[in-house]
Structure 1
Amino acid sequence: MPILGLIIIGAAAGFLATRLMRIEASIPATLLIGIAGALIGGLILRALWAVMGLASGLIGAVLGAMLLLWLWQAYQRRK
């Protein structure tokens, strides 16, 4: 999936991930987490892309964003 597509899907994924995990974050933080999650999820789930098509991009982006949110929460608790 092209990088631009991952960024666009990532913006939506960040929004979905913050809502699914009930995290209050600023809009820029939500977008950055979603975009980074989309990049991570997109790279990890390339095999799934071949099987499921476009839906796997969104699934991977949401899962990647949720992983980053989980790591961010764990880091914040340590402070």
Structure 2
Amino acid sequence: MSIIMLIIFGAAAGFLATRIMDLRTDVPTTIAIGVAGALIGGFVLQFIAMIGGLAFGFVGALVGAIFLIWVWQRYSGRS
């Protein structure tokens, strides 16, 4: 994400977050809160996606291996 987009999203997120949490701050502090929140949230979501991706990859590998064993047993005459 470019720096300009990070600042724009950060400003919007900071504005919404300060209003939701009923915190009155000046514009630079609001932008800083939003940018910091975007960085933290981005890292957390990236970590969750990585863990989920690994788990889904393992499940896919397991299902594929079970299917391959089933096909092998079915068509090779072995039990």
Query: 1:1-79, aligned counterparts within 5 Å?
Result: 2-4=1-3, 5-46=5-46, 47=48
Kept after mapping to 2: 8 A contact 1:18/1:24: yes
Structure whose alpha-carbon radius of gyration is higher: 2
Kept after mapping to 2: 8 A contact 1:6/1:42: no
Kept after mapping to 2: 8 A contact 1:9/1:35: yes
Secondary structure, aligned partner of 1:22: coil
Shift >3 Å, 4+ stretches: none
Residue type matched to 1:26 in 2? D
Runs of at least 5 residues in structure 1 that lack an aligned partner in the other structure: 49-79
Structure 1-normalised TM-score?
0.51
Residue type matched to 2:9 in 1? I
C-alpha distance in 1 between matches for 2:42 and 2:8: 12
Highest relative contact order (Cα 8 Å, sep 6+), 1 or 2?
A: 1
Overall identity of the aligned pairs, in % = 55
Secondary structure, aligned partner of 1:45: helix
Shift of residue 45 of structure 1?
A: 1.0
C-alpha distance in 1 between matches for 2:43 and 2:2: 10
